[in-house]
Structure 1
């Protein structure tokens, strides 16, 4: 059982304790915190607290006993995979937009993990546990494109080391709002948890870590710009956060951009089109490319045709 200690600041004093803790503990919802109250896992200055709407004073020390996570039963599912490359060590797949990478509470099936478990059987690395077998890196649900999967622990360690050393090639196509005037640029700003919205990340947010995104303009369509982004780091929502911060949010991104879906797309216009790494066994550099999905291409063609007529 993990334990968490939090000191009430002047800023959070007088606020409901369940709300304060939900924001302070990464990945914890208010309902989860309330369940911990019911289990007797909250103490204020050493005394058990069962009142969910308790309003703590500045300087109060809150101790939270986090219950052990429930082991989820993940079932293999016969879901078609777009396999770009496969051998005994590595599987490279082209994930469709709309597919979640790994299961979580409330979303236990239909994920990429369910699909690769069916396809690979026991031939997946175990380093990330039963929830994320073989998963070395992730892309968002509504982002399409290339992912590498480790089929054994040795391959997983090699690919993870390359990620840590920033030697993996990851290039994305992105359609963003407004005209980017410079032909290329770099956003070098740390990303952490948004203190106001637990679903979002933010530049200089809580627990921020270094994040570097390079971008280059490919085409301009007046009010929109098609760019290629290359990741030096791989923080959650990195491209989406960085581009929104410099006032060029991704088209179709309801979390960091406009809620209006101008082109009737289902999610952010972001595609992981190029992936390169050194093979864990052979030692040779391998690079893979896939075209963006039809929806992405449809929007780009529409903008190209409109621009040519001007």
Structure 2
């Protein structure tokens, strides 16, 4: 089954009707539990926003439904190289390569970080994420490199998830953006929602959406571009990419956000970025077992370092 998306407008308000039941009537081939999962994962949105399965549809609302590729029944161990920044009996932090997906899905059924982790940890990973996402507490985009924490037990997974939810995890990213911001530092507080018509895109929005907060400082000014250090105070999908596109300075190499600015950047510099230039440089959190702060830093991968050198 290939991926497909449907978008429609609710014609009549149905009092006391839940979104999952409403959609089950429209798509009887899908179970209610499957629809609930898609709603909870943001694959089904209302007016571009993530909602709960209990949401009551109202006339005029735009519902977007994305049917992803079938997921594998179970991810299998694969002997693949991974870079471990820290590891003990409870968890590990890895430096994710920019050319590897975190978990199976969306055309990447094998050769993912999960496959490598299953081999490395000999299956000793948290089961909260299901058989396709064992140990995965948070995610990075396919092209984003850097720090990612993995839980080896459900208890550790739960404790780490609570820290992420409570905004207690320090997340520092390095990014190369098109153009030159006039300010050397700033705060971006703009809500983010899923794009109404383009499922793979998110969008900055002044009304609705989920609150999102990114702070940044200029680290180095480059040719037609700027190296910035960003702190994520929230963790929305594509947050840094969407926020900097909103400011007019999209990430260098981003194929989804800021295509016009990237075309101008390539014309000015002659440089073709191999991917979106985004790297999770630092991750710090309280270790659930020891109660001490664990801080990990990931060095730039070769392509990011080369980009900075070429553009300097």
After superposition, residues 163-178 of structure 1 pair within 5 angstroms as: 163-178=164-179
**Residues 178-198 of structure 1 deviation map (CA, whole Å, 9 limit, x = unaligned):** 111111111111111001211
Match of 1:27 in 2: 43
Match of 2:11 in 1: 8
| Aligned: 1:271 with 2:274 | no
After superposition, residues 172-251 of structure 1 pair within 5 angstroms as: 172-204=173-205, 208-251=209-252
After superposition, residues 251-270 of structure 1 pair within 5 angstroms as: 251-258=252-259, 260=263, 262-270=270-278
Unaligned 5+ runs, structure 1: 10-16, 19-23, 29-57, 305-310
C-alpha deviation, 1:109, in angstroms: 0.3
C-alpha deviation, 1:291, in angstroms: 1.5
* C-alpha spacing 1:96/1:83, structure 2 compared with 1 (3 Å): same
Match 1:289 to one of 297, 300, 308 = 297
- TM-score in terms of structure 1 length: 0.76
Please give the alpha-carbon distance, in whole angstroms, between the structure 1 residues aligned to 2:272 and 2:221.
20
* C-alpha spacing 1:203/1:94, structure 2 compared with 1 (3 Å): same
Match of 1:119 in 2: 120
**Residues 159-179 of structure 1 deviation map (CA, whole Å, 9 limit, x = unaligned):** 111101111011010000111
Indicate conservation of the 8 Å contact 1:76/1:117, yes or no. yes
C-alpha deviation, 1:85, in angstroms: 0.7
Q: CA RMSD in A?
A: 2.9
Q: Secondary structure at the match of 1:208?
A: coil
Q: Secondary structure at the match of 2:209?
A: strand
Please give the alpha-carbon distance, in whole angstroms, between the structure 1 residues aligned to 2:81 and 2:299.
18
* C-alpha spacing 1:105/1:244, structure 2 compared with 1 (3 Å): closer
Please give the alpha-carbon distance, in whole angstroms, between the structure 2 residues aligned to 1:59 and 1:223.
44
Q: Secondary structure at the match of 2:174?
A: strand
Match 2:288 to one of 276, 280, 291 = 280
After superposition, residues 61-210 of structure 1 pair within 5 angstroms as: 72-104=73-105, 106-204=107-205, 208-210=209-211
Indicate conservation of the 8 Å contact 2:274/2:303, yes or no. no
Q: Which moved more, 1:256-265 or 1:118-127?
A: 256-265
* C-alpha spacing 1:152/1:6, structure 2 compared with 1 (3 Å): farther
Q: Secondary structure at the match of 2:155?
A: helix
Please give the alpha-carbon distance, in whole angstroms, between the structure 2 residues aligned to 1:195 and 1:206.
13
Unaligned 5+ runs, structure 2: 1-7, 13-25, 28-37, 45-58
C-alpha deviation, 1:267, in angstroms: 1.1
The aligned length equals 256
Indicate conservation of the 8 Å contact 1:99/1:142, yes or no. yes
**Residues 222-253 of structure 1 deviation map (CA, whole Å, 9 limit, x = unaligned):** 52111000000111100000000000100000
C-alpha deviation, 1:264, in angstroms: 2.3
- Structure number with greater Rg is 1
C-alpha deviation, 1:59, in angstroms: 7.8
Q: Which moved more, 1:84-93 or 1:261-270?
A: 261-270
